[in-house]
Amino acid sequence: MLSSHRRMLPVSLPRFELGALLLVLGLAAALAAVVGIAAFTLTESTGYSTSQLQAAAKTAYARGHDAGYTAGLAKGKTSGQSAGYAKGRQAGLAAGKKKGRAVGMRLGKKAGYTQGYAAGQAAAQAAVQTTTK
Protein backbone atom coordinates (compact mmCIF):
# COMPACT_ATOMS: atom_id res chain seq x y z
CA MET A 1 0.00 0.00 0.00
CA LEU A 2 1.16 3.32 -0.85
CA SER A 3 0.63 5.91 1.62
CA SER A 4 0.66 9.43 0.36
CA HIS A 5 2.46 11.70 2.65
CA ARG A 6 2.62 15.34 1.83
CA ARG A 7 5.82 16.88 2.80
CA MET A 8 5.62 20.38 4.03
CA LEU A 9 8.33 22.80 3.02
CA PRO A 10 10.13 24.35 5.93
CA VAL A 11 9.75 27.77 4.34
CA SER A 12 6.45 28.86 3.07
CA LEU A 13 6.35 30.64 -0.27
CA PRO A 14 4.66 33.97 -0.53
CA ARG A 15 1.38 34.16 -2.29
CA PHE A 16 1.38 35.00 -5.97
CA GLU A 17 -0.15 38.36 -6.71
CA LEU A 18 -1.32 39.59 -10.05
CA GLY A 19 -0.49 43.20 -9.23
CA ALA A 20 3.20 42.35 -8.72
CA LEU A 21 3.30 40.58 -12.08
CA LEU A 22 1.75 43.58 -13.83
CA LEU A 23 4.20 45.92 -12.13
CA VAL A 24 7.21 43.85 -13.27
CA LEU A 25 5.91 43.65 -16.84
CA GLY A 26 5.26 47.39 -16.93
CA LEU A 27 8.77 48.22 -15.69
CA ALA A 28 10.33 45.82 -18.23
CA ALA A 29 8.33 47.43 -21.06
CA ALA A 30 9.36 50.93 -19.95
CA LEU A 31 13.04 49.93 -19.78
CA ALA A 32 12.84 48.29 -23.21
CA ALA A 33 11.27 51.44 -24.65
CA VAL A 34 14.04 53.62 -23.20
CA VAL A 35 16.75 51.35 -24.60
CA GLY A 36 15.06 51.18 -28.00
CA ILE A 37 14.66 54.96 -28.25
CA ALA A 38 18.32 55.48 -27.26
CA ALA A 39 19.52 52.97 -29.84
CA PHE A 40 17.37 54.54 -32.56
CA THR A 41 18.62 58.05 -31.84
CA LEU A 42 22.25 56.88 -31.82
CA THR A 43 21.95 55.21 -35.21
CA GLU A 44 20.04 58.09 -36.78
CA SER A 45 22.14 60.94 -35.38
CA THR A 46 25.48 60.03 -37.03
CA GLY A 47 24.65 61.98 -40.16
CA TYR A 48 27.34 60.30 -42.30
CA SER A 49 26.43 58.66 -45.54
CA THR A 50 28.07 55.53 -46.91
CA SER A 51 29.94 57.49 -49.57
CA GLN A 52 31.28 59.90 -46.95
CA LEU A 53 32.51 57.00 -44.83
CA GLN A 54 34.20 55.37 -47.84
CA ALA A 55 35.86 58.66 -48.80
CA ALA A 56 37.09 59.16 -45.24
CA ALA A 57 38.48 55.60 -45.18
CA LYS A 58 40.30 56.14 -48.50
CA THR A 59 41.75 59.43 -47.26
CA ALA A 60 42.92 57.85 -44.00
CA TYR A 61 44.51 54.97 -45.91
CA ALA A 62 46.29 57.36 -48.29
CA ARG A 63 47.60 59.46 -45.40
CA GLY A 64 48.83 56.39 -43.53
CA HIS A 65 50.43 54.94 -46.65
CA ASP A 66 52.22 58.20 -47.46
CA ALA A 67 53.42 58.64 -43.88
CA GLY A 68 54.69 55.05 -43.76
CA TYR A 69 56.40 55.39 -47.14
CA THR A 70 58.16 58.60 -46.06
CA ALA A 71 59.24 57.08 -42.76
CA GLY A 72 60.45 53.95 -44.55
CA LEU A 73 62.49 55.99 -47.01
CA ALA A 74 64.14 57.94 -44.21
CA LYS A 75 64.92 54.81 -42.21
CA GLY A 76 66.13 52.94 -45.29
CA LYS A 77 68.36 55.83 -46.30
CA THR A 78 70.10 56.01 -42.94
CA SER A 79 70.55 52.26 -42.59
CA GLY A 80 71.58 51.91 -46.24
CA GLN A 81 74.10 54.70 -45.98
CA SER A 82 75.70 53.24 -42.88
CA ALA A 83 75.84 49.74 -44.38
CA GLY A 84 77.19 51.07 -47.68
CA TYR A 85 79.77 53.18 -45.90
CA ALA A 86 80.98 50.21 -43.86
CA LYS A 87 81.23 47.89 -46.88
CA GLY A 88 82.78 50.60 -49.05
CA ARG A 89 85.31 51.42 -46.38
CA GLN A 90 86.24 47.76 -46.02
CA ALA A 91 86.51 47.25 -49.80
CA GLY A 92 88.43 50.51 -50.23
CA LEU A 93 90.85 49.57 -47.49
CA ALA A 94 91.49 46.19 -49.10
CA ALA A 95 91.96 47.76 -52.54
CA GLY A 96 94.20 50.46 -51.08
CA LYS A 97 96.37 47.85 -49.36
CA LYS A 98 96.69 45.91 -52.60
CA LYS A 99 97.60 48.99 -54.67
CA GLY A 100 99.86 50.31 -51.93
CA ARG A 101 101.67 47.01 -51.70
CA ALA A 102 102.20 46.97 -55.48
CA VAL A 103 103.50 50.56 -55.49
CA GLY A 104 105.70 49.82 -52.48
CA MET A 105 107.13 46.73 -54.11
CA ARG A 106 107.87 48.70 -57.29
CA LEU A 107 109.51 51.55 -55.39
CA GLY A 108 111.41 49.12 -53.18
CA LYS A 109 112.70 47.21 -56.17
CA LYS A 110 113.79 50.45 -57.81
CA ALA A 111 115.45 51.72 -54.61
CA GLY A 112 117.14 48.36 -54.06
CA TYR A 113 118.45 48.38 -57.59
CA THR A 114 119.69 51.95 -57.20
CA GLN A 115 121.33 51.34 -53.84
CA GLY A 116 122.56 47.83 -54.52
CA TYR A 117 123.33 46.68 -58.03
CA ALA A 118 123.61 50.11 -59.69
CA ALA A 119 125.74 51.45 -56.83
CA GLY A 120 127.99 48.41 -57.05
CA GLN A 121 128.34 48.81 -60.82
CA ALA A 122 129.17 52.49 -60.41
CA ALA A 123 131.75 51.73 -57.71
CA ALA A 124 133.30 49.01 -59.87
CA GLN A 125 133.48 51.34 -62.88
CA ALA A 126 135.01 54.05 -60.73
CA ALA A 127 137.58 51.59 -59.43
CA VAL A 128 138.40 50.43 -62.98
CA GLN A 129 138.80 53.99 -64.19
CA THR A 130 141.11 54.95 -61.36
CA THR A 131 143.32 51.91 -61.93
CA THR A 132 143.57 52.49 -65.67
CA LYS A 133 144.72 56.05 -65.37
pLDDT on residue 41: 81
User: Which positions ≥6 away from 48 have C-beta within 8 Å?
Assistant: 56
Assign 26 to helix, strand or coil.
Answer: helix
For 56-96, how does the pLDDT look when each residue is reduced to its tens digit (9 = 90+)?
Answer: 999 999 999 999 999 988 888 888 888 888 788 888 888 88
Average pLDDT of the chain is: 83
**Can you give the pTM of this predicted structure?**
0.33
Q: How far is it, in rounded angstroms, from Cα 74 to Cα 86?
A: 19
